[in-house]
Chains A and B, each alone.
Chain A
């Protein structure tokens, strides 16, 4: 039943790939700059030009870059907001209950005056409203960024979030971006770098995580932490090794130890770096790499298939 409606992706030789609908494919890395966006953009473009409905969801809201390559025509722009408390000063008795219960130090009580509100620290949980015995707290909205949607190259449905400069709260914006997921599409989700809460918020509901790493000590170190996050969340994993020159034996050992599936090895190629630097899509500018992304798409489908079968058994 999982494979009731499965479109086919074919490469130049007429080989088919089965991709399941309604699939979240997250592209993550741990370390920044390993080629996440390159892999995400080109995988999305490859699938879209193979006739599938694809949505690109850029969750790197601090530094979104997918739009520089897919060049979407934006159709909507919605402000993203979080809730913050507003104190009705005439009702406040300075009891301090709100600030005592706030876990984020977003309210600070001083003797004889209403509490000070620090909106940048507030998570919008609403607990202060419940605990105020005078009913003196209501809410305002505070804008933290915006969500933009449009249609990009290859007819890809595109959505990203842009966090306001100076704003600390990435996670609520990531949630609002993900709320724009389209059911009937294969969803390629570009994750932020790092291994903390923004990564968890992004990949938490992924069907598969494609980890993009580079064969260096830094790349491997951060990959191992990101893999630990995905393993903790019990999400199936595949690996892309980017900018490979020679085999980096510590990475190969890690792959063996964690029984990871290598979905693609992208060679160190100055042509890719130069095309990327100008905002070009690699599978278009350098067609010799189409086969590589075909294999990657196939590997993603197979990894997901295995995981589903494994889950049933």
Chain B
């Protein structure tokens, strides 16, 4: 099946309420695969409460370590290392080692080991509505989060194909760097969840430009819109000026956090609230965008 649509939800700025919004939107699509690509701070599983079906190991890049019993202290490794990762005592600092392998390849004594190790785990799950859900956990401080993101997206697509599900919804990481690029490449729609603040507006510019770079149809949601109606308006104008679709503004509502504490979404805990109504309106707009792709 080639007509799988991928929607990625990103924010630029962190903590705008992206995952709460994704949790709600996901529950409104009856058939979809959900994928949490914020692999170094995954949260969506705390709302979707999944049952893990399968765990897959994620192997990270290699890191050098020097066996001092074989080392002749010739200094070649220190000369070729561009990351200042090797001390005068020929001990590799793993915080600085980028895993390039220069010392391993060029050591004349063959004294450098270069093992790779498990850097995280990818979980294939069934969420509480029995739809497939994929998430991952990178071990604290590890590298290659972009590769783990690619693994999560790949597993999600495979599940969508197997189960004949036409939609993958991706919860992306904050920022605009490596894991965001990996989350956004090749998706059809980017939904940006921002907040009505000077930071939210500033970061929106950069993430919209990134979405345009990847030729995604781009929608914008302002979360906690009533905290600063002036900035909310400016974000709507900026969105339209940059060719985006304004999907709506969700009011500040403590019930969203209360729902999170109960491991659910506001659609379940307060279905008749104004916030829930607005989220359903946003879902309708998003569905229309997907139908017209």
Interface bits B1-39 vs A (CB < 8 Å: 1, else 0): 000000000011111100100000000000000000001
Does B260 contact A127, Cβ atoms closer than 8 Å? no
Distance in Å: Cβ of A179 to nearest Cβ of chain B: 11
Instruction: State the CA gap A153–B219 with chains docked (Å).
Output: 36
Tell me whether A222 is interfacial, beta carbon within 8 Å.
yes
Does A197 contact B141, Cβ atoms closer than 8 Å? yes
- The contact of A126 among B43, B80, B176, B213, by CB within 8 Å, is B80
In the complex, chain A residues whose CB is within 8 Å of the CB of B71: none
Distance in Å: Cβ of B34 to nearest Cβ of chain A: 16
* Nearest B-chain residue to A167, judged by Cβ: B177
Distance in Å: Cβ of A133 to nearest Cβ of chain B: 13
Does A169 contact B178, Cβ atoms closer than 8 Å? yes
CB contacts between A and B, total, < 8 Å: 190
In the complex, chain B residues whose CB is within 8 Å of the CB of A214: 15
Does B227 contact A123, Cβ atoms closer than 8 Å? no
Does B202 contact A194, Cβ atoms closer than 8 Å? no
Does B15 contact A32, Cβ atoms closer than 8 Å? yes
Interface of A is mostly: loop
With contacts A103-B100, A127-B100, A168-B177 known, is A68 near B40, CB below 8 A? no
In the complex, chain B residues whose CB is within 8 Å of the CB of A193: 14-15, 41, 174-175
Interface bits A15-28 vs B (CB < 8 Å: 1, else 0): 00000000000000
- The contact of B181 among A125, A168, A199, by CB within 8 Å, is A168
Please tell me the number of chain A residues within 8 Å of chain B, measured between CB atoms.
Answer: 61
Query: Can you name 29 A-B pairs with beta carbons within 8 Å?
Result: A63-B12, A63-B13, A65-B199, A68-B198, A68-B202, A103-B100, A125-B100, A127-B101, A127-B102, A127-B105, A131-B105, A131-B106, A163-B177, A165-B209, A166-B213, A168-B146, A169-B178, A192-B175, A193-B174, A194-B174, A196-B40, A196-B142, A197-B141, A197-B142, A217-B43, A221-B46, A225-B41, A226-B140, A277-B195
The 3 closest A-B pairs by CB, nearest first: A32-B14, A33-B15, A125-B100
Given pairs A62-B175, A103-B101, A216-B257, 15 additional interface contacts (CB within 8 A): A32-B41, A63-B203, A103-B100, A123-B98, A125-B101, A165-B176, A165-B210, A165-B213, A192-B175, A193-B41, A217-B43, A218-B19, A248-B261, A274-B227, A274-B228
Chain B residues within 8 Å of A, Cβ to Cβ: 11-16, 19, 39-41, 43, 46, 61-62, 80, 82-83, 95-96, 98-102, 105-106, 138, 140-143, 145-146, 173-182, 195-199, 202-203, 206, 209-210, 213, 224, 227-228, 231, 254, 257, 260-261, 263
